[in-house]
Amino acid sequence: MSDSSKPLETAPAPKRRGILLVVDDEEGPRMSLKVIFKDTYDMLMAEDGMKAIELAQQHDIDVAILDIRMAGMSGIEVLERLRMVRPDLEAIMITAFETTDTIRQALRLRACDYINKPFDIATIRSAVSQAMQRRVSESEIHNSAEKVHELLAELQNQRVEEQIAKTRGDIYASIIHDINGPLTVISGFIQLLNKKLTADEKLEPEGVEFVKERLNIIERQVGNCIEISRRYLGFLRRQTDGSTQPAGVNQLLRDLEQLVRVHPSLLDNEFKLTPFVGDINVRINGIDLIQILLNLAVNAFQCTPVPHRVEIGGEVLAAPLDLALFKDGPNDRMLNVESLENTVPLVKLWVRDTGPGIPAEILPKIFDRFFTTKGSSQGTGLGLNIVQRLIKESRGALHVHTQHNVGTTFTVYLPGTNLVK
């Protein structure tokens, strides 16, 4: 086997050089320490306490070497001030005048070593090396603790999301169950009323026929709602027991069309749904996909009171998206497109209307929670926000393109699985 088949090894990132601060009001000791350590650490030199504090505010200092007896601010005072800025730095005290009191003060401020002048190179090298090692170890422990905390937080978020998903399924099932009852009752009353009108001759024949015709239409629509709700309830039950099979897009589109046909927002608008040529399974909860497309369709119907056309269609993309073509602008808004880099196959679905378009100043706000231009009596401002959330949860993407007095197209991209034979 040739070496080219082996995975390339990534070189470890270079370690940061430690930063060593020397604080001494005498130039001789400062220069001596600089010569000793300049090839090993990044050196910062301060001739007094104020300069040392200034440098500490600007740099993440690992170790400080401080002369205890200095003009103005003593080394003990400087260390006390440095602790306020860099509480984790390691401190080494040096002095030619050792006293019990200064040793006690240095220990109180957590100085890690205390060296007498004149110092020999081996002693000061050893002291700084050990201090640097402690600093690195403490930093690694701190970073590890942060990573553990982040992992625990992520795990907790996953558990919360799983619970939310389960709760959402329970809510959908409850809603569907509750809707079935009154719809069944309504259907029964319509049948009784139909029989009553047939037996009652008080109405003119034309009036009876008019009422019967419309009651028959209502009965068919109610029957459609009951059948769709039963199908969705069965779908949710299969999901909760772990036996769900991926649903083909065309089946979901057929279910969606039945919902749209009976939705009150349809009114006098023209509606067309074109199924896929062939079928494909899509990696998304089927109920979520129907909710996404239904919310977009209702939004399209309600964009203007003037009758207009709304179309839903789609296709399968065998090549990955060219992300360079997707940019936010006055007529375009992107959502989560980067998540689909190099993803194939892709299911592309669009909801297109011939309404007035979305003004440029409103476009950036359309996915905001509770944002609506319809007024409180017509809209809650949650429809598109729910679309955004469901698409992100499904690792999909959304592109909005709008033109003034031409219309708006919402294009949903979702990862596909296998073609359905």
What is the tens place of the pLDDT at every residue in 86-132? 888 899 998 877 677 878 888 888 888 888 888 888 999 999 999 88
On the CB side of 184, CA atoms within 13 Å amount to 9
State which H helix or E strand residue 225 sits in. helix 205-240
Closest CA to 124 of 236, 24, 194: 24
Cβ contacts of 89 within 8 Å, gap of 6 or more: 21, 56, 61, 62, 63, 64, 82, 83, 135
C-alpha to C-alpha distances, 25 to 29, 73, 78, 274, nearest whole angstrom: 9, 10, 12, 83
Instruction: State the pLDDT at residue 417.
Output: 79
Where the chain has pLDDT below 50, the residues are 1-13, 174, 178, 242-244, 376-377, 420-421
What strand order describes the sheet that includes 90-95?
Answer: 42-46, 19-23, 63-67, 90-95, 113-116
Q: What does the buried/exposed string (b/e) look like for 86-104 if buried means 16 or more CB atoms within 10 Å of the residue's CB?
A: beebbbbbbbeeeeeebee
**Calpha distance 320→340 (Å, rounded):** 8
Residue 100: both structure tokens together: 């019990």
Q: How many CA atoms lie within 13 A of 34 on its CB side?
A: 13
Instruction: Quote the pLDDT of residue 10.
Output: 44
What is the predicted pLDDT for the residue at 230? 63
Task: Kindly state the tokens that stand for 53.
Answer: 């504090």
Do 263 and 298 meet the contact criterion of CB atoms below 8 Å apart? yes
33-35-38-40 Cα dihedral, nearest 10 degrees: -80
The per-residue pLDDT for 1 is 39
CB atoms within 10 A of CB 64: 27
- pTM, rounded to two decimals: 0.47
Please tell me the predicted confidence (pLDDT) of residue 384.
87
C-beta of residue 68 within 8 angstroms of C-beta of residue 74: yes
Q: How many CB atoms lie under 10 A from the CB of residue 46?
A: 22
The tens digit of pLDDT for each residue in 353-367 reads 999 999 999 999 888
Q: At 403, which helix (H) or strand (E)?
A: strand 397-403
